[in-house]
A = this chain, B = another copy of it.
């Protein structure tokens, strides 16, 4: 081996320098063919082409972002008109499926759309109340965004409109800037501005293919956040259910419970509570029936509307509003008015609007993409994440100009839409038109609707946000993930909505850094009767090779955080092994299996060099087995390969062991 590579062998010899007493007995048991083979394979490792450079990688990923859509278009290589058609098809996926749309499909969509509308109308009014807006804004939000989404979105089931969590976010964050009780006009204006920025961020995420930003919120964090938000939203409903006039603007459990306790001391009207609870029980029973019998899916879907109608009738007939039952009173009817002149880009709250817009954009996208993707998987089609984001962005920008607040895909309504048998996004159009008609002609009927009913409708939708099973699965699979989940949950519950999100993101990223920090090394052994070397802890059948220690670095990144501890760990280990083992067969070779290490930095190369130096000074030879592309490239560049010797780099652990054992490499203690 050494003979075939004279230059590198001499380089390694100069590195060994004062440890030249480490004699090489050339009593090779390996045949010349074996030696040739091993050398040949080492050449494969060392003479591999350079990996893409930093500049190339950066340019590549920029190109990827900029050109991915261009290329698609260029591929068509058709005349101008065809190009325009292709472009329109790409921006408005509706054009693709609208041609194949059949009457039978419309029947399904109509039924689904009407079911959806019956659930959507009471929920929209309730969520508007949660967002501390007048009821009509919730209804407006169920008109414009669904219509725009139908033309641009790629999901067929997603039911668009206001949702609980985003309403809570708006209420919690915007009310910190402007008090909605003191100055409702400014508050509403700020909400529209936030909606505009939400849409802008979403569209930008989609245009620049930044969908991965949504992944920054791990599943675990979302589960915890949603559960916490559900409880907070539930507590907020106590206001309506108990008809409390002076409620806190804070959202944490402690503040809300204190506010509730305080209200009991002043006068309160149990009629509200009784009315709300009765209908809550009614809705929950219908849901139970619907779950037992999938054919009766429409029962829980129309239950809220039935509750609204019944309770309104009861209040109207008994004149209960004169005996303490709080009612909605006037709801402004008519079409969505324009709100372009209400967007405020010169206000002193611009910075806050942008910040809240960013948070809402991420949360709204997270919910919509998660819901849309899960139903797309069931039906077996692909949802394009980037197009979804663009669609959501434009629907919210348009919404902000037509008196809507942030809309997104609702989990509960999407499920209803799916079970009602919707075929395409046309069900959203049916729903929007129904809501529009209701806004135009029937708002007067809502005058006597008791507020407590809205609270019970919202309350009934909350259990769907709390996912015990998933939380349990997270606990089983990854304890640190569960910590992020719990962090989000308690953060939302006891601090604030933003704090919960921040805690979850912080824990999630701390987890990644912690993982990169821990210096993990594992001893490898030979699986009996094979050339395969595996971790002895994982595979108890694996047998250690005498006088050679095979160590796998179990870190994806050999970098400044773990390089020095790893070096110390290896050196200590060798020292201990040499103490423990039979003195007649001391460790005289270390094989580092680098197959887990996908990248290395400057500190990593230094640590390997120091390890090599220290081992050599103890008469122990170091070999590197199966280095990855980036790693071997950097080791070559850092001149580590020259220092350790080209003959100490191997394609696999097996060859390194063959070479060590076959060449009978012996340390000074053995001579």
Which A residues fall within an 8 A CB radius of B?
Answer: 41, 44, 48-49, 51, 54, 212, 215-221, 377, 380, 385, 473-474, 476-481, 508-509, 511-513, 515-517, 520, 522, 527, 531-532, 534-535, 537-541, 554-557, 559-565, 568, 595-603, 605-606, 610, 613-614, 617, 628-629, 632, 634, 637-638, 651-652
Contacts and interface: CB of A to CB of B under 8 A. Distances in A.
Contact of A538 (B219, B478, B540, B628): B628
Given A479-B54, A513-B513, A595 B598 contact: no
A476 B517 contact: no
A603 B219 contact: yes
Contacts of A481: 601-603
Contact of A218 (B478, B508, B568, B603): B603
B218 A380 contact: no
- Quick one: copies of this chain in the complex? 2
Nearest to A482: B602
Contacts of A554: 598, 628
Contacts of A515: 516, 556-557, 599
Given A565-B215, A598-B520, A634 B513 contact: no
A651 B532 contact: yes
12 contacts: A49-B537, A212-B565, A216-B561, A219-B603, A221-B560, A380-B617, A481-B603, A509-B513, A522-B629, A531-B531, A535-B628, A556-B596
A92 to B, nearest CB: 23
Contacts of A557: 512, 515, 556
B380 A629 contact: no
Contacts of A534: 651
Contacts of A48: 538-540
Contacts of A597: 556
Contact of A560 (B508, B531, B561): B508
A648 B217 CA distance: 31
B218 A601 contact: yes
A480 B601 contact: yes
A522 to B, nearest CB: 8
Contacts of A517: 212
Nearest to A603: B219
Contacts of A613: 377
Contacts of A541: 44
Contact of A556 (B478, B509, B556): B556
Nearest to A55: B479
Nearest to A212: B565
* Complex A-B, nearest 10 residue pairs according to Cβ-Cβ distance, in ascending order: A556-B556, A218-B560, A54-B479, A538-B629, A478-B601, A481-B602, A512-B516, A219-B603, A474-B602, A477-B602
A554 B380 CA distance: 28
Contact of A215 (B41, B531, B560, B614): B560
A14 B643 CA distance: 56
User: Chain B CB within 10 Å — which of A41, A218, A556, A638 has the most?
Assistant: A556
A637 B480 CA distance: 15
Given A51-B538, A385-B568, A538-B632, 19 more contacts: A48-B538, A48-B539, A49-B538, A212-B564, A215-B564, A215-B565, A218-B560, A220-B601, A220-B603, A221-B560, A474-B602, A476-B637, A481-B603, A512-B557, A515-B556, A516-B556, A527-B651, A537-B629, A595-B595
